[in-house]
Amino acid sequence: MNKYSAFRIPHSAIGKKGFTLIEIIVLIVMAGIIIPAIMVPFATGIRGSGKPEMVTKAMYLAHQRMEELMKYVYGNAALNVTGVGTFVLFATGVPNYSGDNEIVYVPNNNLTGAGQANPNTNYKRIHVRITDPEGTVYHVYSVVTNFP
C-alpha cells in the first residue's frame, strides 16, 4: 500500500481531521450575520443605561421640592401665588440639573386648568419642574386647599 493512501481513502481517520474550506467559509458568513445582530441591541442598551439614573435623580429632586412646599398651610407666605420661580437644588452632587416651581390659583371646578388671579377659589396648584442634563423636563403637581 502506498504511504499516501490514507488521504485517498474517505473513511480514514487521518482524512477526517480538520474542516473543509467550505465549512470555514460558511462559519465566517454565519458569524458575520449573527454577531452584529447580537451586538447592536447590546450597544444600544449600554448607551442608554445612564438615563434611568437621571430620571430617578430628577424625580427625587422634584419630590424633595414638593415636600418642602407641602409642609406649609394654604395661607403661608411660602405658598403665595407667583409666576414661575427658580429654586436652588439643595441636594449635593447634582450638577447640570435645574428646577423651578409655579404656584397659581385654580378654579374650584377645574384643578388642572390654567391659574386664575382670583384668591377666593381656596385652591392653589403647585407645579414643580426639574430639567436633567439632557434637557428632559419632569413635572410633579399637587393641590393645596384652604380647609375651613
68/83: higher pLDDT: 68
Q: What's the rounded Cα separation, in Å, for the pair 68 and 48? A: 32
Measured distance between the N- and C-terminal CA atoms of the chain, rounded to whole angstroms: 113
Question: Comparing C-alpha atoms, which of 91, 66, 69 is closest to residue 78?
Answer: 69
**Do 43 and 74 sit in the same domain of this protein?**
no
Which residue, of 16, 31, 47, is where some domain finishes? 47
**Do 30 and 65 sit in the same domain of this protein?**
no
Check if the beta carbon of residue 126 is closer than 8 Å to that of residue 142. yes
| Mean pLDDT, residues 30-56 taken together | 85
**Of the ranges 18-22, 32-36, 76-80, 121-125, the best mean pLDDT one:** 32-36
Whether residue 53 is predicted with pLDDT greater than 60 in this model: the reply is yes
Question: Comparing C-alpha atoms, which of 107, 112, 103 is closest to residue 123?
Answer: 107
Residues constituting the chain: 148
CATH of residue 58's domain is 3.30.1300
6-35 pLDDT, tens digit per residue, is 555 555 555 567 889 999 999 999 999 999
**Do 56 and 70 sit in the same domain of this protein?**
yes
| Mean pLDDT, residues 94-119 taken together | 70
Q: How confident is the model at residue 75 (pLDDT cuts 50, 70, 90)?
A: confident
Q: What's the rounded Cα separation, in Å, for the pair 113 and 115? A: 6
Residue 81 sits in which domain range? 51-145
**Do 75 and 115 sit in the same domain of this protein?**
yes
**Do 59 and 127 sit in the same domain of this protein?**
yes
DSSP the chain: --TTGGGT-TT-TGGGSS--HHHHHHHHHHHHHHHHHHHHHHHHHHHTTTHHHHHHHHHHHHHHHHHHHHTS-TTSGGG--EEEEE----SSS-TT-EEEEEEEE--TT-TTS--BS-GGG-EEEEEEEEE-TT--EEEEEEEEE---
